[in-house]
Amino acid sequence: MTDRGRFNLWAAAVIAVLLAGLFFRFGGLDDRLFWHDEVYTKFFAAGRSSSDWQAVLYTGEVFSAADVQALQRHDPSRSVLDTVRGLAADEPQHPPLYYVLARLQVGLFGDGVGALRGLSAGLSLLALPLMFWLCVELFDDRRVGYVAVMLLAVSPFFVVYATEAREYALWTVLTLASSAALLRALRLTDAGARGLGRAWGLVSATVALSLYTSFSAAAVILAQIGAVCARARLRPTRGALLAAGSMAVAALLFLPWALVLLARYDAFAASMAWSRTITIPRSELLTTLAVNASRTFVDVGPEVQGAGEAALVAGLGLLLLGALIELGRRGPSHARVLVIALVVVPISLLLVPDLVSLGIRSVSGRYLTPAWLGGLIAVAWLLGRQGPWRVARGGVLVVLLALSMGSCVRFMGDETVWSQSISEQVPEAARRIAESSAPLVVGNRELHYPGNLLALALLLDPAAKLQFAPLEGEYRLPDHPGDIYLFCPNAPFRERLRAREGVTTVLLLDHLHLQLWAVRR
């Protein structure tokens, strides 16, 4: 085959994979469950804080599902400032940038599921050219950039978060943008080029925007600082000093929200308590880490099932580890430190405390997004660079792309995916409740995960009834003519009902994160 023929075949492959990635992001945005976390996004995008809707719902009043659905809709009388105030008061661990964009999005396109998720899907497309830019800055190799873009376009992990109304697609974009901008600024500084103010200003802006998207961006900044120090060999070079100055400017730009977090640290600590108080064995921590890493290329579902899937996860783990080792041995010096640091720093910051205390900080793969980006870049470099075994490496690339696309095709029709584990039984609960002609669903605030009950309300018949039982005072069942269901009640709540009202409760659905009980008088 001529060089022109190879080029045409390569270009066709890149375009085909990019079109597949586009389809996976925008095809069926409305189909999957709008789950616990996304419900909170909808409230903040509507300009309502958690305290706003809790003050309305947790009164003991019986609402229709239509009433609860209406409370989640966009309120034109509320502004972007209401969104920021709500986050500052109730969820300071979520910086406001993504939620402000979501507020603007629903103002323009409505608050439907597709519109909200479309923001993440659209933002995720920006990650593709940014990945190419970063790889060119890292390796000065366009082919590696194209391989990385293809892998990112159909990566099951990144497709899942590109179709979720949360901030992780935006964080991916800004992680790539800030890293590429930093390398470009360092390159221009070393060359003595003009326009350094704009180049370093872009670094400050992208780093600050990253922090305004996720506090976990701190791990990326540490990796970037490590790369700068290694490049300068711990000397105060011009590039190192300019990098320090640009990071300091970013920190100053972020200072207002840092002060908000400091003032509301109690709310932040309470919201993150689950990551420390829930414990699992160390072996499970390491297994979960391996599964999350493998989702960069293949989705095996919520859990590994069978020897075949275990072998696949292990094989992908070895590929990632081998790519990082090879990059460390043979990769460009300025590239290998940043890529390896993007993997090692976020994982170390979360996994090491978990291994000591058996917490679950590292279990949620979304918090390790920079690590999966770094691993993907290392694999792209291994498979796309010039050198021996080119045909074999091309074959591995084809297999990886096929696995990724097959995974995306498989989960496109699913009601839920692994990232929605705490809500995966909400659709089944809705089906059980729909068997009743006049249901009333009662949830108390302690165990029912408020977001899950709100997500359930979106699936119920508009005439179905819901009651959000207050924590204060004695609760009594209302005089309801139809079937009554308890949504995630704790044992003392059920025992008080039995003792006070003489009812029994029958377990209908039992899951780690969701239980549904029927009340029998």
Angle 103-106-108 (CA atoms, 0-180°, nearest 5)?
110
Half-sphere exposure of 401 (CA within 13 A, CB side): 22
How many beta carbons lie within 10 A of that of residue 262, not counting itself? 10
Pair of tokens at residue 140: 């000065």
Is the pTM above the cut of 0.85? yes
Alpha helices (H) along 358-389: 369-384
Tell me the C-alpha to C-alpha distance, in Å, between residue 346 and each of 322, 339, 360, 423, 432.
19, 12, 14, 26, 41
pLDDT on residue 501: 87
pLDDT tens digits, one per residue of 303-339: 888 899 999 999 999 999 999 999 999 999 889 999 9
Q: What percent of the chain has pLDDT over 70?
A: 96
Q: Give the least confident one: 6-10, 150-154, 453-457.
A: 6-10
Instruction: Tell me the average pLDDT of the chain.
Output: 92
- Beta-carbon contacts of residue 39 (< 8 Å; ≥ 6 apart): 72, 451, 454, 455, 458
pLDDT on residue 228: 97
pLDDT tens digits, one per residue of 176-189: 999 999 999 999 99
Does residue 513 carry a pLDDT above 80? yes
Does residue 1 carry a pLDDT above 70? no
pLDDT tens digits, one per residue of 363-390: 999 999 999 999 999 999 999 998 888 8
Of the candidates 77, 102, 85, 75, the residue with the CA atom closest to the CA atom of residue 50? 85
